């Protein structure tokens, strides 16, 4: 790290309307080190766009979704007058959106193009709001620098290409301007628009920070940091002032929606500190995630990830044979499926996958199940939640009666512990999961 540059990211609720954008503009105004701003789509827009990519809607429903997206932009435009340079780009982008919305059946590439409009539109509006508070802001199309592969809906960034393009095209702008760009989207080697997966703007901000050699990333959202659990679920959840990269990565991976799971990767790789705070209360503090931070042993947070699929694969022929797991994972990897938890026995393996509603693509395709069924018996269970205890040096000890007592009240479907000292994970029925998290929080985190 060699500069003081800060990359700020404003999430969907932070750019939901004019008043919210104005609060964010003040944050940028007050911190002269913020030179790059990555914005999300205004709240609600990406969900509408995901719906628009689904073929089953009638024409009237599609029109309704298009109108809803436009209404969110118009609501902001009522209070912001775009300068000519921004107005031209905004209108052109809106026309592209309307034209694509007329297509009934979209290719994978077109679906990502559709999902990109939220960030592309909000970034014009936010640039203007920054100008309104006296900042010399310009809008920059992130696709010029954020290069990815062509794995639509969950593209993998090309770190090297992103760095080279950023040094050439983005860094020279930063001495004169605050550059407003888009989270979530990128571009593949043949110039097609890609997206990084739902919630991916946090990841974009960290990637951009790495590419421009920034000192930190500030993730501005609707909560004053990362809490001991989702504050919407437990009123007694408390913000955690400091987290190590490992702990933060585990929290994000296991469901703390406040941070996209991949965000910590570039940050920890390049030693960039990450701050998470509320754009509503910028002076209320937040969470700092930093490198060299050693944490006290113990449980610091509990997270949950709903809509999990448990896939159990069984093959008696595999008794004492080798290669069963390799075969399974080769197939899963060919469908680009990421597995979270795994437990195995001699002839079977159980693993969990995400099945989030509103995901930009289904995680488990029938074709994948068919391939697996060719050599093993496959069972799929739905409506499960992955609950994770996160912390440092977590150990399941026989003398940890508190933890054992809390867990014994619930039906635990699968448990995973040992691969990392930072977590202890288990699956519960989705209908139980809020209660499980609340009980764990009450018994293990509120007393400490
Ligand atoms: P943004 O649109 O700014 O990216 P998100 O909705 O993606 O915001 O993430 C913020 C939300 O994450 C909060 O409103 C909160 O309900 C949820 N959340 C889940 N777990 C946690 C946690 N451990 N700490 C803080 N927020 C959490
Ligand atoms: N707009 C995208 C989403 O809603 C990305 C983001 O907000 O991080 O998933
Ligand atoms: Mg988010």
What is the DSSP code string of 327-396?
HHHHHHHHTTPPP--EEE-SSEEEEEEE--TT-SS-SS-HHHHHHHHTTSEEEEEEEEEEEEEEEES---
For ligand 1, whether the C-beta of 299 sits within 6 Å is no
**Shared domain check, 337 and 191:** no
Ligand 3 centroid–CA 125 distance in Å is 19
- Paired sense of beta strands 216-221 and 273-278, if any: parallel
Q: What is the pLDDT of residue 320?
A: 60
Q: Which domain holds residue 337?
A: 299-445
Cα 25 to Cα 32, 73, 140, distances in angstroms = 12, 17, 17
Is residue 253 domain-resident?
A: no
User: Among 222, 241, 257, where does a domain finish?
Assistant: 222
**Shared domain check, 15 and 117:** yes
The single-letter DSSP state of residue 147 is B
Ligand 1 centroid–CA 178 distance in Å is 26
User: Among 222, 237, 268, where does a domain finish?
Assistant: 222
Longest Cα separation, the chain: 71
Is residue 395 domain-resident?
A: yes
CB 162, CB 207: distance < 8 Å: yes
Pocket residue to mutate for ligand 1, from 257, 286, 441, most atoms within 8 A of Cβ: 257
Ligand 3 centroid–CA 42 distance in Å is 11
Cα 424 to Cα 50, 209, 415, 420, distances in angstroms = 33, 31, 8, 8
For ligand 1, whether the C-beta of 258 sits within 6 Å is yes
pLDDT in tens, the chain (448 residues): 458 999 999 999 999 999 999 999 999 999 999 999 999 999 999 999 999 998 778 889 999 999 999 999 999 999 999 999 999 999 999 999 999 999 988 999 999 999 999 999 999 999 999 999 999 999 999 999 999 999 999 999 999 999 999 999 999 999 999 999 999 999 999 999 999 999 999 999 999 999 999 999 999 999 999 999 999 999 999 999 999 998 899 999 998 899 999 999 999 999 999 999 999 999 999 999 998 656 677 889 999 999 999 999 998 776 666 788 888 999 999 988 888 889 888 788 999 998 877 776 777 888 999 999 998 999 999 999 999 999 887 776 655 667 778 878 888 888 888 777 788 999 999 999 999 999 999 988 986 5
What DSSP letter does each residue of 193-258 carry, written as one string? EEE--TTTHHHHHHHHHHHTT-SEEEEEESSSS-BSS-TTT-TT--B-SEEEHHHHHHHHHTT-TT
**Shared domain check, 70 and 162:** yes
Ligand nearest to the CA of 183: 2
Is residue 240 domain-resident?
A: no
CB 166, CB 208: distance < 8 Å: yes
- What is the number of the ligand 1 atom nearest to the C-alpha of 256? 20
Neighbours of 121 (CB within 10 A): 25
Surrounding ion ligand 3 within 5 Å at CB are 11, 199
Q: Tell me which residues have their CB closer than 6 angstroms to ligand 2.
A: 11-12, 40-41, 46, 118, 183-184, 198-201
Q: What is the pLDDT of residue 1?
A: 45
**Shared domain check, 28 and 128:** yes
**Shared domain check, 154 and 17:** yes
- Closest CA to ligand 2's atom 8: 199
Is residue 203 domain-resident?
A: yes
Tokens of 302: 């509990």
For ligand 1, whether the C-beta of 12 sits within 6 Å is yes
**Shared domain check, 323 and 197:** no
**Shared domain check, 35 and 136:** yes
Pocket residue to mutate for ligand 2, from 14, 40, 208, 260, most atoms within 8 A of Cβ: 40
Pocket residue to mutate for ligand 2, from 38, 123, 198, most atoms within 8 A of Cβ: 198
Is residue 228 domain-resident?
A: no
**Shared domain check, 125 and 218:** yes
Phi, psi of 166 (to 5 degrees): -65, -40
For ligand 1, whether the C-beta of 227 sits within 6 Å is yes
- Closest CA to ligand 1's atom 6: 258
Q: Please give the Cα distance from 148 to 307 (Å, whole number).
A: 28
Torsion-angle region of residue 11: left (phi > 0), alpha (psi -120 to 50) or beta?
beta
Ligand nearest to the CA of 197: 2
Is residue 387 domain-resident?
A: yes
Is residue 277 domain-resident?
A: no
- For residue 386, the domain's CATH number is 3.30.2130.10
Ligand 1 centroid–CA 223 distance in Å is 7
Pocket residue to mutate for ligand 2, from 11, 12, 38, 45, most atoms within 8 A of Cβ: 12
pTM for this structure? 0.93
**Shared domain check, 316 and 176:** no
User: Among 222, 245, 268, where does a domain finish?
Assistant: 222
Is residue 248 domain-resident?
A: no
Q: How many domains does the chain have?
A: 2
- For residue 194, the domain's CATH number is 3.40.1160.10
């Amino acid at each position: 790290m060699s500069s003081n540059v800060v990359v700020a990211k404003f999430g969907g609720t932070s750019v939901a309307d004019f008043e919210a954008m104005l609060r964010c503009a003040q944050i940028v105004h007050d911190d002269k080190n913020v030179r790059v701003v990555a914005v999300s789509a205004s709240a609600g827009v990406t969900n509408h766009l995901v719906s628009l990519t689904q073929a089953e809607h009638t024409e009237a429903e599609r029109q309704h979704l298009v109108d809803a997206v436009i209404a969110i932009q118009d609501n902001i435009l009522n209070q912001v007058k775009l300068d000519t340079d921004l107005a031209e780009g905004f209108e052109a982008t809106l026309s592209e959106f309307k034209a694509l919305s007329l297509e009934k059946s979209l290719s994978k590439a077109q679906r990502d193009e559709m999902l990109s409009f939220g960030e592309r539109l909000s970034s014009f509006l936010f640039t203007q709001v920054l100008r309104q508070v006296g900042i010399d802001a310009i809008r920059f199309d992130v696709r010029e620098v954020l290069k990815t592969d062509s794995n639509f809906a969950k593209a993998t960034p090309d770190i090297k290409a992103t760095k080279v393009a950023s040094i050439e095209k983005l860094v020279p702008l930063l001495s004169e301007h605050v550059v407003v760009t888009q989270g979530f989207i990128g571009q593949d080697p043949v110039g097609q628009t890609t997206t990084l997966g739902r919630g991916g703007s946090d990841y974009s901000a960290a990637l951009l920070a790495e590419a421009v050699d920034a000192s930190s990333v500030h993730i501005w959202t609707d909560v004053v940091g990362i809490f001991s659990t989702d504050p919407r679920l437990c009123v007694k959840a408390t913000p955690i002032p400091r987290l190590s990269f490992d702990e933060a990565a585990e929290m994000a991976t296991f469901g703390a929606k406040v941070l996209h799971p991949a965000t910590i990767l570039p940050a920890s790789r390049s030693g960039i500190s990450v701050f998470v705070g509320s754009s509503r209360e910028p002076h209320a503090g937040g969470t700092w995630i930093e490198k060299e931070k050693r944490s006290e042993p113990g449980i610091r947070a509990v997270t949950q990830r709903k809509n999990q699929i448990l896939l159990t694969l069984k093959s008696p022929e595999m008794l004492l044979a080798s290669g069963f797991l390799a075969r399974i994972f080769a197939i899963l990897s060919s469908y680009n499926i990421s597995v979270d938890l795994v437990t195995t026995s001699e002839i079977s393996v159980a693993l969990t996958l995400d099945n989030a509603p509103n995901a930009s693509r289904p995680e488990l395709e029938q074709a994948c199940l068919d391939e697996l069924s060719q050599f093993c018996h496959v069972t799929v269970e739905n409506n499960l939640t992955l609950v994770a205890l996160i912390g440092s040096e977590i150990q399941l000890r026989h003398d940890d009666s508190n933890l054992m007592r809390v867990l014994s009240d619930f039906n635990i479907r699968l448990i995973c512990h040992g691969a990392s000292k930072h977590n202890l994970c288990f699956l519960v029925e989705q209908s139980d999961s809020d209660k499980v998290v609340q009980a764990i929080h009450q018994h293990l985190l509120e007393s400490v």
